[in-house]
Amino acid sequence: MPANLTLESLKSAYDKGEIDTVLVVAPDMQGRLFGKRFHAGFFLDGGHEETHCCNYMLALDMEMNTVPGYRSAGWTQGYGDYVMKPDLSTLRRLPWLTATAMVMCDLLDHHTHAEVAHSPRAILKRQVARARAMGFEPMMATELEFFMFENSYDQLRDDGIVNLRPVSAYNEDYHIFQTTKEESVMRAVRNGIHGAGIPVENTKGEADAGQGEVNYRYSDALDTADNHTIVKQAVKEIAWAHGKSVTFMAKYDHRRVGSSAHVHQSLWTLDGKPAFLDKGAQHGMSDLMRHYVAGQLAHAEEMTFFFAPYVNSYKRFFAATFAPTRIVWSIDNRTAGFRICGDGTKGIRVECRIPGSDMNPYLACAALLAAGLDGVERKLTLEGAQEGDTYNAAGTRMIPRNLRDAAEALRGSAMLRKAFGDEVVDHYVHNAEWEMAEHDRVVTDFELQRLFERV
């Protein structure tokens, strides 16, 4: 779905004094937005054509360290430029920031103007083009969960991340009274992202104290990834403006449930018909859908890094927490890694429940699409559905239990190397290796508390 500004309407808003700033942004490897704030007059006068950024933006870790070992950028290559090319179909107002608009960019090689292969948006766009060449439009939606705290980001910065106070004292899943207490923030979130041209559906309390969720309408895959990234930014900025903080960590406390970002998917024909639906088939699942789901099951281990990119991510995968542990599919069953929703209706789709809210939506959606299309191309046979409590489903495969195992599965993935290219896979394997190395070298509070006196 297009955003809510054009160059012409931006010029009109600028002339009226309604907008004076344009955020020109792109997603990094971690799914965060980076870029520049343009004066709207300069943006309109030619800045909308392109700008530049340092190519280390796709070779940094979460703390903005320059990571050695990437082939794409480094000190030996001199850290040159990428071109940031605004996608004007994404130009939108940001109502929660004063007089501000935003546009998403694609990253291009400075010399050839070809899209940078390992940039998240390019990775997803290539898989969307692949699906369209097969006659399908991939449609997706992501659910986005997070925890909100009474502590401000500034307090946590100055005092350390201690004494976190969730905005509620108890599980608030679907709880209207508790979410009334949070409404000053969540109403601003809903109205803000609606005003940004993102078709928000609802917010709700989630399955622990202080946990919430925001949902926005099913859309084409690239639009969904853009919307996810913007909504995540909006939630953080709006919470900050209200003196609160949020975290999208997959697991911020081992005593709490984790936060997910379930991905709903289906293929539609280019003329707008649901290609996953066959009303005469069991559960209404067409052969195409069965092949697609079979591809995702076949390649689940290889994709897991793109669903769970940090050491912390794997602390979410525990039984009886609504996070999956096994690579199985089931009909409307929240214990399974892959859940079939809307069976027998035109809304039939597969929900992948493995991704955490720390995932990069472009990479997760691209990996899911690549695996599903592989299943379609090879006409893979779908294994039988699991029923009941799939946490205890004997003889089934487990989701990788740690980042090391997921990185090794990604390294060895012939399917993803064919779909994404060796350069891209090697880039993200190196990212995983750096995350593990950083974790391995740091002494944690857990170690100090457990060992300082007792060892």
The one-letter amino acid at 449? Q
Which neighbouring-strand residues pair with 142?
263
438 neighbors 61 (Cβ within 8 angstroms): yes
Q: Which residues contact 134 (CB under 8 A, 6 or more apart)?
A: 373, 376, 377
Give the distance, in angstroms, between the CA of residue 417 and the centroid of all CA atoms in the same chain.
21
Q: What is the DSSP string of 166-231?
A: BSSSSB-TT-HHHHHHTHHHHHHHHHHHHHTT--EEEEEE-SSBTEEEEEE--EEHHHHHHHHHHH
Residue of 228, 42, 52 whose CA lies nearest to 141: 228
What gap in Å lies between CA 253 and CA 332, rounded to an integer? 28
Provide the residue type at 103 as one letter. Answer: V
* pLDDT tens, the chain, 455 aa long: 568 999 999 999 999 999 999 999 999 999 999 999 999 999 999 999 999 999 999 999 999 999 999 999 989 998 999 999 999 999 999 999 999 999 999 999 999 999 999 999 999 999 999 999 999 999 999 999 999 999 999 999 999 998 999 999 999 899 999 999 999 999 999 999 999 999 999 999 999 999 999 999 999 999 999 999 999 999 999 999 999 999 999 999 999 999 999 999 999 999 999 999 999 999 999 999 999 999 999 999 999 999 999 999 999 999 988 999 999 999 999 999 999 999 989 999 999 999 999 999 999 999 999 999 999 999 999 999 999 999 999 899 999 999 999 999 999 999 999 999 999 999 999 999 999 999 999 999 999 999 999 99
11 alpha-carbon distance from chain centroid: 32
pTM of structure? 0.96
* Rounded Cα distance, 406 and 403, in Å: 5
The token pair that represents 322 in the structure block: 């609504």
Sign of CA dihedral 411, 381, 360, 443: negative
Would you state the structure tokens that stand for residue 70, as one six-digit string? 């990437």
Rg of the chain in Å (alpha carbons)? 22
Q: Is 91 exposed, middle or buried (0-12, 13-18, 19+ CB in 10 A)?
A: buried
**Residues making up the chain, counted from first to last:** 455
Domains along the chain? 7-116 (3.10.20.70), 132-450 (3.30.590.10)
Whose CA is closest to 252, among 161, 352, 361? 161
Q: Which helix (H) or strand (E) holds 42?
A: helix 40-42
